[in-house]
Structure 1
Amino acid sequence: MAPESPIDSATALRAGQPDYQRFAPKTVDLSNPWLAWAKYLAYRLAEARGWGGTIRFAVNRGLAVVLTGYVEGDLIRHSEVFTPLRALDLPVGHTTTVLEEMGIFEDDSEPSFERWLAARLEGLAPGIRAEVERWTRTLHDGGPRSLPRQPGTVWLYLNRVRPALLEWSDRCDHLREVTRDEVLAYLKTLHGRHRHEQLVALRSLFTWAKRASLIFRNPTSRIKVGQYQYAVLQPLIPEQVNRSVAAATTPAARLVLALAAVHAARVAQIGTLKLDDVDIGNRRMTIAGRVRPLDDLTLKLLLDWLEHRRKRWPNTANLHLLINNQTATKTSRASNHWISAPMRGQTATLERLRVDRHLEEAIIQGPDPLHLAEVFGLDEKTAMYYADSARALLEQAAELQHR
């Protein structure tokens, strides 16, 4: 018989709620109709998502923990069950999935965005902090006259304005106190890409503040962002690529490497690939809505991965092409972090390999932006950037030959 959890139950429970942390197998009421219903739903989810026997057993035990003494009408909250389930080494996510199906679960866990936002606002003057928080939430959630931005855009904008805001917080309490001269003085300390990116973010912040009537005049108005001059892209050297190839030691990592280096697929695009996107018989794959022919190398690596996937997770119901131990029992995609991990620390990262593939195509086929846009689905500006870089590299090579 398993011992009772040693955790002090009084530390995490609301008054009048069941004491989940004092669970012991002898206290379970197997005739509890809520537990019977939960086990039935757990069985259906296990069949649909390919949960193995170990997970099924652990989920059923977790359900017994949280449903013992359950009273109809109560909500079971994430904050109440997380600690006792983890203390018993039971799967929180799978257990709460069943409770969600039952309609008796409330996820009151703090979103990661809230933790990140609080950390990024730390150190700002109180007035500036409150105003910047409103701006960031408008970017994240949208507003009456604006749509929500992508999470990555919100992250970049706040990170870019933070250094200036920290400096101004030493002498200003609100955004309305920041003058044009102070903006210009700060921008003089920046050059090239950093100046360009921070000015764009500051203009977004102060434009919003003016629209929200938080400032009298926009201190960034009439300050030209200017056209940022991008450097000529340089191709990777063979040694850099070889080190990344050597780092790809698993079937999944080798396939990911090929998708980036041969098909110029972004990490997010690789993560969202589904099994239906692969057509082995016709040797083609659909990446981000564009059909790509499968070359011999990619086809071999794809078949190796699918065989490994079948043997490692024979019962998985996850339809994503790439799965791992965490996603094989769910329906969600693998994280960008997991996909990129084997190349982390390498010069030839997945992003560099993707860029190098675009550049290689522009050099071999000629610096034609229309061709690049057609093959890879690039927008006009990006295609022209690759074409210009390829043209510059070809001209440099021609000059060296004539010396």
Structure 2
Amino acid sequence: MGTCAGCRREVAIPEAHGYCRLCRAQATWAGKAAGTTGRDRVLLPFLRQVTHQQLFFANLQRPRNGGPPVGKAGRRALRVKPLPTAPPPATHWHQPELSTAARDFGRFDRRHADLDNPRLVRARKEALALGETRGWTRWITSDVDRALVIVLSGHSEGEVIRYSELFPPLRSRGLSVVHTAEVLGRLGLFIDDRTPSVDRWLARKLHGVAPGIRRTAEDWARTLLDGGPRSQPRAPGTARGYLNEVRPALLDWSNRYDHLREVTRQDILDVRDAVTGKQRESRIVALRSLFRHAKKTGQVFKNPTVRIPIARHAGPVLQPLEQADIDEAVTASTRPHTRLIIALAAVHAARPGMIRALRLDDVDLGNRLITIADHIRPLDDLTHHTLMQWLDYRRTRWPNTANPHLLITQKSAVGHGPVGKLWVTQATRNLPANLERLRVDRQLEEALTHGPDPLHLALVFGIDEKTAIRYAASARQLLDPDIAP
């Protein structure tokens, strides 16, 4: 033990030096910083400058392996492990799947991505080709590429990816599930394991109905939605309205009967008399549709709804719009697509669904014709002008889109489907002159101008004869109020 000449501590020091190990290490680093090297005689000036106690931690006095630092801290480059010159031999054997277990793609790490996976390479090429065909933006293409790397990096031959596995990780990262599923589906690697919405709807509406009655009602509802061998599909709103009308009767009959064959004419009359007004007509119409389908498919022997009288309630007299309301709707249409939508509704009496379904092939600019719901009509100057404005805007805004519909949005431009329902009615949604009122006013104006002739209305607008008779009756009432409805 002795006293260090530098830090004045009582420590074990060699007699030849007179300084402790920590002070000699401090002097050595000071000498290196000054550019001198050597042993004690060279360090002596630096040892005399050490007059304070040093604090060191274990293994931090000098680099562990000696020499200058490496990597970003020094000039010596890190050694990179050379890549193998040849890939490992491929094998056609793979482990068969023991059980169906959902995979967790949410734990994916980009550092573990296998970009040489043959399924991933093929999928990325397919995504590029599909993006060029659909006019995808570079952001959509990049998102789809990231999603494919996540789900196909560890993919093995024979595996399929389910929607329930695909949706959570992609949605949490803000990636497109629809476009990724489309690419995987084109390669045969995707299975949509979601329960169809129509199945959930039928299960909810027919809950509590007897099994025999439920089978017939479910088959009838699916035929209304999808059509049959000798029947056209009805609108989804019609099918849902019909089932809502007959549901109370089906629940009531399930307490007494096991099948619709047991329903009698008196049961139908009781159901009809249980409601009043317009609902009586609606319920009888829905029950007639149900039993007509059951009779045609051989599920009942006799139709109990035949020859049941019901009074048809005449609707109110249709009234034309005020000019101020029309001007308000025109003022609200400030964009090219809203002006075209209002022109189609106010001039050609097109419904919102017809406007959404219009395609580029339905417009014949050379002959100034437009086809709306399979009905060919001439293009007037107003519609032609707004149509040209929209086509110029569409060509400038989405030059690479492959969507065949006339009206497109930023979302639908990268696909083939129509625009949304709310998007079409957005401009006039809260106005007195909305699209439906503009359509009704146009047909009523035609009846008032050219006379209340149902045949003329059916020829001009391609509407049903009952609808044409209703508009003609309203026009007749407006032209001559003394005529009884």
Aligned partner of residue 414 in structure 2, secondary structure: coil
Which structure carries more helix by proportion? 1
Q: Runs of 5+ in structure 1 lacking a partner?
A: 1-13
Alignment of 1:26-105 (within 5 A): 26-105=111-190
Provide the residue aligned with 2:64 in structure 1: none
Matched, 1:149 2:249: no
Residue type of the alignment partner of 2:138: G
Residue type of the alignment partner of 1:150: R
Residue type of the alignment partner of 2:412: T
**Per-residue Cα deviation, 1:65-121 (whole angstroms, up to 9, x for no partner):** 221221222222222211221111110111111112212222222222223223322
**Per-residue Cα deviation, 1:238-282 (whole angstroms, up to 9, x for no partner):** 344344334444332221111011111122221122223334455
Judged with a 3 Å threshold, the aligned counterparts in structure 2 of structure 1 residues 187 and 249 are, in CA distance, closer, same or farther, namely: farther
Alignment of 1:14-25 (within 5 A): 15=100, 18-25=103-110
Largest Rg, 1 or 2: 2
2:359 to 274, 287, 295: 274
Task: Report if aligned partners of 2:403, 2:417 keep a CA contact under 8 Å in 1.
Answer: yes
Aligned partner of residue 261 in structure 1, secondary structure: helix
1:361 to 446, 452, 455: 446
CA distance in 2, matches of 1:285, 1:33: 49
Provide the residue aligned with 1:11 in structure 2: none
Residue type of the alignment partner of 2:231: L
Higher alpha-carbon deviation: 59-68 or 306-315: 306-315
Provide the residue aligned with 2:459 in structure 1: 374
CA distance in 2, matches of 1:299, 1:397: 41
Provide the residue aligned with 2:400 in structure 1: 315
Provide the residue aligned with 1:352 in structure 2: 437
CA distance in 2, matches of 1:168, 1:240: 49
Task: Report if aligned partners of 1:74, 1:104 keep a CA contact under 8 Å in 2.
Answer: yes
Matched, 1:197 2:282: yes
Aligned partner of residue 328 in structure 1, secondary structure: helix
Higher alpha-carbon deviation: 31-40 or 313-322: 313-322
Task: Report if aligned partners of 1:141, 1:147 keep a CA contact under 8 Å in 2.
Answer: no
Alignment of 1:126-275 (within 5 A): 128-142=213-227, 146-147=230-231, 149-152=233-236, 153-166=238-251, 168=253, 175=260, 178-209=263-294, 218-275=303-360
Shift of the alpha carbon at 1:34? 1.2
CA distance in 1, matches of 2:410, 2:445: 35
What TM-score does the superposition give when structure 2 sets the normalisation length? 0.71
CA distance in 1, matches of 2:317, 2:202: 36
**Per-residue Cα deviation, 1:338-387 (whole angstroms, up to 9, x for no partner):** 32233334443322321221111111112222322222223433323322
CA distance in 1, matches of 2:258, 2:325: 49
Q: Number of residues paired by the alignment?
A: 385
Shift of the alpha carbon at 1:170? 6.3
Provide the residue aligned with 2:25 in structure 1: none
Residue type of the alignment partner of 2:450: Q
Provide the residue aligned with 2:417 in structure 1: 332
CA distance in 1, matches of 2:268, 2:483: 45
Task: Report if aligned partners of 2:115, 2:153 keep a CA contact under 8 Å in 1.
Answer: no
Shift of the alpha carbon at 1:156? 2.6
1:111 to 185, 193, 196: 196
Task: Report if aligned partners of 1:324, 1:334 keep a CA contact under 8 Å in 2.
Answer: yes
Shift of the alpha carbon at 1:228? 4.6
Higher alpha-carbon deviation: 16-25 or 262-271: 16-25
**Per-residue Cα deviation, 1:274-326 (whole angstroms, up to 9, x for no partner):** 22333445544332334433333323322332233234323222121101122
What TM-score does the superposition give when structure 1 sets the normalisation length? 0.84
Give the structure, 1 or 2, with the largest relative contact order (CA under 8 Å, sep 6 or more): 1
Higher alpha-carbon deviation: 207-216 or 370-379: 207-216
Higher alpha-carbon deviation: 43-52 or 156-165: 156-165
